[in-house]
Amino acid sequence: MDKLSSRILTVGGRLGYEMMATTPNTLIVYHDYQPAPLVYEVRGLPAAAGSKQMDKFKGIEIGISVECEGGSLLIPSYSGARAVDNAGKELKKFEGHSDILRIS
């Protein structure tokens, strides 16, 4: 998209633990794009109360998951990604910076 959506809804905050920081560690942003919305989520919470291990989503501790109608693009690092279907079956693996740049 080349502009912001006409409507945006966001909710979040500094949740789960006390720190001096002010940046939200948990955030959901809904962009009302047409024909399909875009939902952006930040998850910065421990896996369990008192744990130093971060929560994981589809095996990713720190990274990006792009959720689409037919599957997901999982980007757990700067140098690799995996495209998977809705059942989690790997469709394609991308390695190295040049492959990641070709995804778009």
In terms of domains, do 74 and 36 share one?
no
Q: Is the pLDDT of residue 2 over 90?
A: no
In terms of domains, do 60 and 23 share one?
no
Could you tell me the pLDDT band of residue 11, with boundaries at 50, 70 and 90?
very high
Separation CA 38–CA 74 (nearest Å): 16
In terms of domains, do 22 and 62 share one?
no
Work out how many domains the chain is built from and give that number: 2
In terms of domains, do 28 and 62 share one?
no
CB within 8 A of 72, min separation 6: which ones? Answer: 58, 65, 66, 83, 84, 86
pLDDT for 7? 95
In terms of domains, do 43 and 64 share one?
no
Separation CA 25–CA 17 (nearest Å): 10
Is the pTM of the predicted complex or chain greater than 0.85?
no
Q: What are phi and psi of 80, to 5 degrees?
A: -165, 155
Q: What are phi and psi of 101, to 5 degrees?
A: -65, -25
Give the structural domain span for 4.
Answer: 1-47
Q: Is the pLDDT of residue 99 over 50?
A: no
In terms of domains, do 66 and 36 share one?
no
pLDDT in tens, 41-91: 888 778 888 888 888 888 888 888 889 899 999 988 888 899 999 999 999
